[in-house]
């Protein structure tokens, strides 16, 4: 798949995500609220360790699905509880996602194009 095709898929995916969020504001608020309740200290941990900035730099400083470059979340493919540390030498264990795609991924709401893009990063 060429870089241009990937960019076109990202734009389609972003547009579909925007439309879904626009049409489902109550559901998005519910997802955000649930996430904040389950993970009250996640922001504090990343702010103090500095790992997030290093991972962002290594993974390109943009959402791997849509290319958004602000307020990025580091997604742990295996989950934090399965990792003994945040080893930067295992960079393939992380995904860099915008808040919207991170929420959608956790709740199994990514569409087919978004899932195709993420499969390319699975190794």
Q: How many CB atoms lie within 10 A of CB 123?
A: 6
**Average pLDDT for 10-15:** 81
CB-based burial, 53-73: b 16+ in 10 Å, e otherwise: eebbeebeebbbbbebeeebb
Q: Where are the domains of the chain?
A: 3-119
Over the stretch 26-67, which tens digit does the pLDDT of each residue have? 888 888 788 777 776 655 554 545 677 788 888 889 999 999
* CB 17 within 8 Å of CB 101: yes
Is 70 exceeded by the pLDDT of residue 81?
Answer: no
Residue, of 75 and 7, whose pLDDT is higher = 75
Residue, of 43 and 2, whose pLDDT is higher = 2
Chain centre distance of CA 31: 14
The mean of the pLDDT values for the chain is 79
pTM of the full structure: 0.56
Predicted local distance difference test score (pLDDT) of residue 56: 85
């Amino acid at each position: 798949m060429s870089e241009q095709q990937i960019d076109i898929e990202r734009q389609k995916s972003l547009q579909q995500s925007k439309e879904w969020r626009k049409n489902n504001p109550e559901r998005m608020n519910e997802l955000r609220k649930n996430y904040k309740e389950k993970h009250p200290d996640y922001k504090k941990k990343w702010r103090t360790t500095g790992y997030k900035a290093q991972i962002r730099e290594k993974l390109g400083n943009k959402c791997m699905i849509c290319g958004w470059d602000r307020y990025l979340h580091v997604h742990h493919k295996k989950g934090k509880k399965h990792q003994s540390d945040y080893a930067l030498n295992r960079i393939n264990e992380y995904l860099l996602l915008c808040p919207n795609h991170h929420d959608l991924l956790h709740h199994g709401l990514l569409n087919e194009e978004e899932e195709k893009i993420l499969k390319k990063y699975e190794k």
